[in-house]
Amino acid sequence: MENILKIIFSPIVFGLLFLAPLIAQSMTAAELQLFTLPNLLVGLVIGGTWGSVAHFRGSWLWIR
């Protein structure tokens, strides 16, 4: 049970399930588009990358 909770509340999952749609909707509201890629794909890349960095560094910010 503890492992399941650690996975659910991990930074990677937060980045993919919360930050990605937020980034995509923000880009859509600002009428931005990167080449011909869908905004959700851009959000998934940015959110997943940021979540992975936060997971391995242990911090969401660059300052530790």
Domain layout of the chain by residue ranges: 2-57
d(CA 51, CA 25): 18
d(CA 30, CA 19): 16
d(CA 50, CA 61): 10
The whole-number average pLDDT for the span 32-61 is: 91
The whole-number average pLDDT for the span 45-62 is: 88
d(CA 16, CA 20): 5
pTM higher than the cut 0.75: yes
pLDDT for 62 beyond 80: no
Predicted pLDDT at 64: 62
Tell me if 46 sits within 8 A of 25, measured CB to CB: no
pLDDT > 90: what percent of the chain? 62
